[in-house]
Amino acid sequence: AQTVTQSQPEMSVQEAETVTLSCTYDTSENNYYLFWYKQPPSRQMILVIRQEAYKQQNATENRFSVNFQKAAKSFSLKISDSQLGDTAMYFCAFRYNFNKFYFGSGTKLNVKP
């Protein structure tokens, strides 16, 4: 069975600072894909970043980057220069087969002015 664990239910960060959200997963699969989704108060699910497991290079998207450690099954999200608009729930997700997505329980991030 595939599981995704986000051990930080809630985090806070000051505007302009850097924050890291943790995610670990458990799988016996070798080829899979990892995603971070953002859910602002509007409830819309927005893709932040994705990582292919076969790629060693960590993905980056502007202020968002990941630290992917395949052996440790860890996939953390780093947000640099945090902005008020980054306040949201963040979900880590894992996909390995067709349409099977597994999501973590989420981390609620609060960016303080």
Q: Does 104 bind another protein (CB under 8 A)?
A: yes
SS3 readout for 96-113: EECCEEEECCCEEEEEEC
Q: Does 78 bind another protein (CB under 8 A)?
A: no
Q: Choose which of 27, 33, 65, 110 interacts with another protein (CB under 8 A).
A: 33
36 CB-contact burial (10 Å; exposed 0-12 / middle 13-18 / buried 19+): buried
Q: Choose which of 63, 64, 65, 101 interacts with another protein (CB under 8 A).
A: 101
Using CB under 8 A, which of the segments 12-20, 57-65, 68-76, 98-106 binds another protein? 98-106
Q: Does 30 bind another protein (CB under 8 A)?
A: no
48 CB-contact burial (10 Å; exposed 0-12 / middle 13-18 / buried 19+): buried
Instruction: Round to whole Å and give the CA distance between 97 and 86.
Output: 30
Q: Choose which of 12, 15, 47, 61 interacts with another protein (CB under 8 A).
A: 47
Q: Does 109 bind another protein (CB under 8 A)?
A: no
